[in-house]
Amino acid sequence: MAGRPTAGLGLLLGALGVVYGDIGTSPLYALKTVFTLDRSLTPDAPDVFGVISWVFWSIILVVSVKYVIFILRADNEGEGGVMALAALARRALLKASEKRAASVLALGALGAALFYGDSVITPAISVLSAVEGLEVTSPRWAVVVLPVSAVILTLLFAIQRWGTGRVGAVFGPIMVLWFASLAVAGAAEVLRHPSVLAGLSPTYAALFVVDHPVIAFIAMGAVVLVVTGAEALYADMGHFGRAPIRRAWFAMVFPALTLNYLGQGALILRTPDSRANPFFLLLPDWAQLPMVVLATVATVIASQAVISGAFSVSREAMRLGFLPHLRIRQTSRREYGQIYAPGVNWSLFAAVLLVTFAFRTSTNLAAAYGVAVTGTFLITTTLFLVVARMLWHWTTWQLVLFGVVFGSIELTFFTANLAKVSHGGWLTLLIAITVFTILLTWRRGAELVTPRRIEREGPLSEFIDKLHATNIPWVPGTAVFPHPNKETTPLALRANVAHNHVRHERIVIISGRTANVPHIPWDQRLTIDDLGDPNDGIIHITAVFGFQDPTDFPEVLRRAATHPLGEGIGADEVSYFVSRITLRCTRSPGMAIWRKRLFIALAHNAASQVEFLHLPEERTIVLSAEIPV
């Protein structure tokens, strides 16, 4: 019992250090972008109050109500993110309509693709906006902004292998200091100009739209920057859990953000020229350089939110059949969601660095920001409505109310950001289209290949009956065949018998799966089946691993040797036969030639089964079977 409060505090600090880095650093560039995007906006009270009101109520409705209160309820076995939500929606629709279930899954894949686009922009704009604070202290620092940003980004992606738990533990206290600084800086200016509190009234947001509809519409394209971390918040739920994320938001993040935005608004009213960079000019001269340092660290943390979110979305995409098996490393002994995906990490790093050098400033990147994230907002709302209706049985009026309130706000944000497409928004859309094509291609390719592979494998029971009938010669030793199930025959087993015309004295087929718990005791992990004949030397082992348990098949054999059916198996003397599919591109219908080639390239880059299963290379034989695509 004594350890629970400490663990809870650790998760709360971790959530501050990972989940809220993105939305927590929005004050660096959000209001600056709003007031520089359209010069028609004036620093007079009606416009400032209108913008502040839109900022405040966007945070209230989109983040506090939609995401923190409602969307976080929709987890898929603890995992969050648009792909997890799509999986829930698919499960809800599967009995009613397979076609609709497939449609929501495709919609989830599109949301994931848009999230990847956001994940490229966020680290670049966050780090650049912080380092650009050097220019406020002295213009001569402008030349070092780009190289310093590149170094910081490199270090950020390099530390990902430590895992989000450790990274969050280090970053958490820093983010406590960051949010405290936001609150103090904002509160000091609000005390000087308390009339800015009037901007919290929603009437100013309404009047702003009525009086200046065109200006308000353009401003919405930048106001969305204050809520861009909301989707990352949901995607990171698997890393820390629902409760710590909610507590951190209402206890610290939301109050600090509100005070800081109010303070920036008050400063603009008092000193109109501060629109150029209201965040840093909110501070006295002596505090600006220390704040640049703190902001730089905070923006590194901001990038962590979308990076760890990308890891979670990637694993969910793998589960749903949209990506091949990638190398995923568990980085926590307690939290299933805390993972590291090396391939995703370094691909993201290359894209972020390219974008940083291509756009060079946070102002340029702000023009590209928003299209992807607002598209993801709309998709999340749509999928949530499906889950709420089919799984939670919401009434019609509840669905309509939720859809109208949040859908109308997000549709406004999305259409306002479409104006950015020609100014850089095309980049996130290009990334999203590329990723979406990859996701759909892998799933479609798997749909084409899987039936052909199952046909080649054939039923295991029929293959065993054939072995018995042909009296094929037995040779000494144990042959182990990793295979996903016990219904079909491992291709490597078929190939071994067909080419060598012998079978081993002992044949062991092992199927493994991973459960959503940290550890499973060995006495509960294995199920051994003689497949109907205890005397033919053929057995099947089902091994269930906890997410912290290594998928060690040699150890499975050592443990199975203590079972009556596994007696005599020597784990150090067996030979492992791994089935590998060689894909051949054909002109058969089902998919375009270029997509077939993309599918084959993705298959070649999948993680090694030998490495994943901890098989000894010197005793592992890989047998290939050709499957046409």
pLDDT digits (tens, 9 = 90+) for 312-371: 778 778 877 888 887 777 665 555 556 777 888 888 899 888 888 888 777 777 767 778
Please state, for a pLDDT cut of 70, what percent of the chain lies above it.
Answer: 91
Q: What is the 3-state secondary structure (H, E, C) of 71-96?
A: HHHCCECCECCHHHHHHHHHHHHCCC
State the sign of the Cα–Cα–Cα–Cα dihedral 113, 114, 120, 123: negative
Q: At residue 186, does pLDDT exceed 90?
A: yes
Name beta bridge partners: 576. 480, 620
Do 532 and 539 meet the contact criterion of CB atoms below 8 Å apart?
Answer: no
570: pLDDT confidence band, cut at 50, 70 and 90? low
Banded pLDDT at 607 (limits 50, 70, 90): confident
Q: What is the pTM of this model?
A: 0.78
DSSP 140-170: GGGGGHHHHHHHHHHHHHHGGGG-HHHHHHH
pLDDT-wise least confident of 219-228, 410-419, 517-526, 553-562: 517-526
CA distance 45 to 265: 9
**Could you give all domains of the chain from N- to C-terminal order, each with its CATH number?**
29-423 (1.20.1740.10), 459-628 (no CATH)
Q: Is the pLDDT of residue 27 over 50?
A: yes
Per-residue pLDDT of 529-561, as tens digits, reads: 888 888 888 889 999 887 667 788 888 888 888
Mean pLDDT of 286-302: 80
pLDDT bin (cut points 50, 70, 90) of residue 571 is low
Backbone angles phi, psi at 266, to 5 degrees: -65, -40
Position 43 scores a pLDDT of: 77
- How many residues does the structure list for the chain? 629
Average pLDDT over residues 193-207: 92
Contact 67, 235 (CB under 8 A): no
